Amino acid sequence: MRRETADARKQRTRKIVAALHKTYPDAHCELDHADPLQLLVATILSAQCTDKRVNLVTTELFKKYRSAADYANAPPAELEQAVKPTGFFRNKAKNIQACCRKLVARHNGQVPRTMAELTRLDGVGRKTANVILGNAFGINAGIVVDTHVARLSLRLGLTQQKDPEKIEQDLMALVPQEQWTLFGHWLIWHGRRRCEARKPDCEHCEINKLCPQMGVLKQLNK
């Protein structure tokens, strides 16, 4: 790909945004939740686990634990068993419990609405905080960078960075703020349905004319 100016990249990103919006008009967070606390717990559980499996686990979990205090006061072994199928269950149970204890102690049992307060909770980094702010509160504070968003951002030539926070900064400079939450969903949906890690379907891809396919040929020829 010829060297692209910052302005040209911005224009191309606008076109990608429009095309993905058209392709996935219903894109949304695929973790089942009915309130911010449920989304917070589901997002902690989603590390290294599929949304589908998390949803299976939370169907029962959310019936039993209804408030931050319920998680805070649960016997640790009981909480571990309840989240076991999501993997890394000891660590996840520990984080959920510690996080919910802070919610009770500092926030009256409620999930806070700022990046600074959220990232002070156990098990909550920028990615999780962005999921909560964008989907539970409708606040576009940043862009979720998970494995799909990182991979697609590279392939689309929107970043050359590998570190999620640096990728996020590059994307925030290119995508209009009101689209930040949706942009994360669109890339995640596209990554799951079209631009998979091992087998990107470039031939049928809805944005192939806008994509330099950075690193794809090299990867497929391996």
Q: Which position among 146, 170, 199, 209 bears the catalytic label?
A: 146
- N residues, the chain: 222
77 vs 197 by CB, closer to ligand SF4: 197
- Minimal distance in Å, beta carbon 222 to ligand SF4? 15
Residue nearer to ligand SF4 on the CB measure, 33 or 148: 148
* Residue 71 contacts residue 50 (beta carbons within 8 Å): no
Residue 179: closest CA among 39, 15, 4: 15
Can you read off the two tokens belonging to residue 13? 């990103």
CB-nearer residue toward ligand SF4: 90 or 193? 193
Closest C-alpha among 87, 92, 36, 28 to residue 62: 36
Q: Give the CA-trace dihedral at 3, 4, 5, 7, to 10 degrees.
A: 180
CB 209 within 8 Å of CB 175? no
Q: Is 127 known to be catalytic?
A: yes
Residue 1: CB minimum distance to ligand SF4, A: 12
Binding site for ligand SF4 (CB under 6 A): 155-156, 194-195, 200-202, 205, 207-208, 211, 213, 216
Q: Which is nearer to ligand SF4, 181 or 213 (CB)?
A: 213
Instruction: Determine whether 146 is an active site residue.
Output: yes
Min CB(24)–ligand SF4 separation in Å: 13
Question: What is d(CA 20, CA 187) in angstroms, rounded to the nearest whole number?
Answer: 8
Which are the catalytic amino acids? 127, 146
